[in-house]
């Protein structure tokens, strides 16, 4: 029953998100300098919601972010999101959404919920 409601909400509220994958090449193996060449973006549909600063501290402990969004997308796009280098969502580019090189996400039936954020410059 809940899956049916989520499918209906997804049809009504889903927006376009552009996923940029990239190819990493090591420039200097001693200093571990990596250059990323971005590929053409792929568009997927996702539900995008804002996350308040207080809530983002609670959901992502230890991360100081300037702007945080929650995206919900279909499970079939999980590998695409894992391989992404940046995500364009509502006109903003999100680079710093990986914690220790890994994407944080939660699986919920046929959908994945993850948090993307822009790191606050110190």
CATH number, residue 52: 2.40.10.270
| 81 exposure class (CB count in 10 Å sphere: 0-12, 13-18, 19+) | buried
What pLDDT sits at residue 23? 84
The mean pLDDT value for 95-120 works out to: 75
Tell me how many domains the chain contains.
Answer: 1
Nearest to 87 by CA among 78, 77, 97: 97
What pLDDT sits at residue 63? 67
The mean pLDDT value for 59-65 works out to: 68
Instruction: Look up the domain containing 40 and give its range.
Output: 2-119
Task: For the full predicted model, state whether its pTM sits above 0.85.
Answer: no
Among 27-36, 44-53, 93-102, the range of highest mean pLDDT? 44-53
């Amino acid at each position: 029953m809940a899956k049916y409601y989520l499918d209906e909400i997804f049809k009504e509220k889903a927006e376009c998100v552009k996923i940029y994958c990239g190819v990493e090449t090591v420039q200097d193996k001693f200093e571990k300098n990596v250059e990323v060449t971005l590929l053409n973006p792929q568009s997927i549909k996702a539900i995008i919601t804002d996350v308040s600063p207080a809530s983002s501290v609670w959901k992502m402990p230890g991360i100081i972010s300037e702007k945080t969004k929650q995206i919900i997308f279909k499970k079939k796009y999980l590998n695409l999101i894992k391989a992404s280098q940046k995500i364009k969502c509502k006109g903003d580019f999100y680079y710093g959404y990986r914690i220790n090189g890994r994407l944080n996400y939660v699986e919920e039936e046929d959908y994945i919920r993850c948090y993307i954020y822009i790191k606050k410059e110190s």
